[in-house]
Chain A
Amino acid sequence: MSYLTDRKRATGLGSAKTGTEHFWLMKVSSVALLLLIPLFVFTFGPMLGETHENVLAYFARPFPAIVAALTIGVTFMHFKNGAQTMIEDYVHGTSQKMAIIFVICLSYAAVATGLFAIARIAL
């Protein structure tokens, strides 16, 4: 059994240069969501179950539409990075790459769909 650590193996190889990028993206999106989530819950929430006409009229207004668009965009980018971390912990090899690619594609597809829908309602 070898007691050589990962740290010892890495010493002297230099930095990977992008090591803190993922952490920073999570931090920025989490701070943004701290503001966006309460705004979204209390604008989208009351509209859930409303009549179709009321929903169209409400999300044609600038504030609810912008909050909804930002929330969907930032949420799925936050999810993309967070889910990637989870996959990296539990899935390995080719399955890991496939799972990460799937999560990234799903996230962008959800953002595109959400933004299209809100733009169509708002404009």
Chain B
Amino acid sequence: MADVNRGNRPLSPHLTIYRPQLTSMTSILTRITGNAMLISALLIVWWFLAAATSPEAYAIANGFLTSWFGDLVMIFSVLGLWYHTLAGVRHLIWDNGIGLDIPTAEKMGWAVVIGSVVLTIITIILV
């Protein structure tokens, strides 16, 4: 019973067959942003460790994070951070069984995309 033809069942259409849709794209972006932010999280931990170590170590870490490349990484991280945050809010709403119909899910999808860009611009201005 336990191992009857495991993995030999008909499957529903997958990524390569399905047309990309707002709901699927916003979902995969949540995963990509969440996992990609490991890079910036580790950079920030390095920055704190360097600040705790010595002025020389701090100069290296701070210099890297405020270089053009560091700025680029941090700006994309902020965008990813707000995107992931808003997408997380959408999941917290969905967890209550609210907004699961397609029109509402797509509206919230656009809210997440536009909201993350707006919050990123606000963050760049304030920070």
Q: Which residue numbers of A lie inside 8 Å of B, CB to CB? A: 1-5, 9, 27, 30-31, 33-34, 37, 41-42, 44-46, 48-49, 52, 55-56, 59, 68, 72, 75-76, 79, 82-83, 86, 110, 113-114, 116-118, 120-121
Contact = CB atoms under 8 A, between A and B. Distances in A.
Given A37-B85, A41-B81, A110-B45, A1 B51 contact: no
Nearest to B49: A117
B80 to A, nearest CB: 12
B52 A117 contact: yes
Contacts of A120: 52
Given A3-B9, A34-B85, A79-B41, A27 B48 contact: no
Nearest to B62: A49
Contacts of A110: 41-42, 45
11 contacts: A4-B9, A9-B4, A34-B88, A41-B127, A45-B126, A48-B65, A52-B55, A82-B34, A110-B45, A118-B48, A121-B48
Given A1-B10, A27-B95, A42-B126, 15 more contacts: A4-B4, A4-B5, A30-B88, A45-B123, A48-B47, A48-B65, A49-B62, A49-B66, A72-B44, A72-B45, A72-B48, A86-B31, A117-B49, A117-B53, A121-B48
B121 interface: no
A101 B74 CA distance: 28
Contacts of B10: 1, 3
A68 B48 contact: yes
Interface string B56-80: 0011001001100000001000100
B2 interface: yes
Given A1-B10, A46-B127, A117-B45, A79 B81 contact: no
B47 to A, nearest CB: 7
A52 B48 contact: no
Nearest to B54: A52
A45 B127 CA distance: 6
A2 B51 contact: no
A37 B49 CA distance: 20
